[in-house]
Amino acid sequence: MEVQIKDLRERPGYYIKLVEAGAEVVITSNGVKRARLVPMVEQDAAISGKHFVNQPVKKGFLFGIWDDRDDVNDVSAYIHALREGRSF
């Protein structure tokens, strides 16, 4: 994923969470690639000499929080129910 440096300044936490989820974020300035954010390698693995190649992020990784939920079968319906107005 590529992101302009301006967008990174406005929402740094969002992009950090993406990187923590396994995504690779390339930072651009005026269309030129300047830097890359990648997940940290565990210190123990780095010491032992293991090298990790960036794995492609599985499709739908942003919605992985729903994989663990047994009570939610249809995410769209669940979100719709949350957004409905309350009746008092």
Of residues 20 and 73, the one with the higher pLDDT is 20
pTM: 0.46
CA-to-CA dists, residue 29 to 17, 18, 40, 61, 81, angstroms:
21, 20, 23, 26, 41
User: How far is residue 23's CA from residue 21's CA, in Å, rounded to a whole number?
Assistant: 6
For 15-48, the pLDDT digits (tens) are 999 888 888 999 999 999 999 998 886 545 544 5
Q: Cβ(54)–Cβ(38) under 8 Å? A: yes
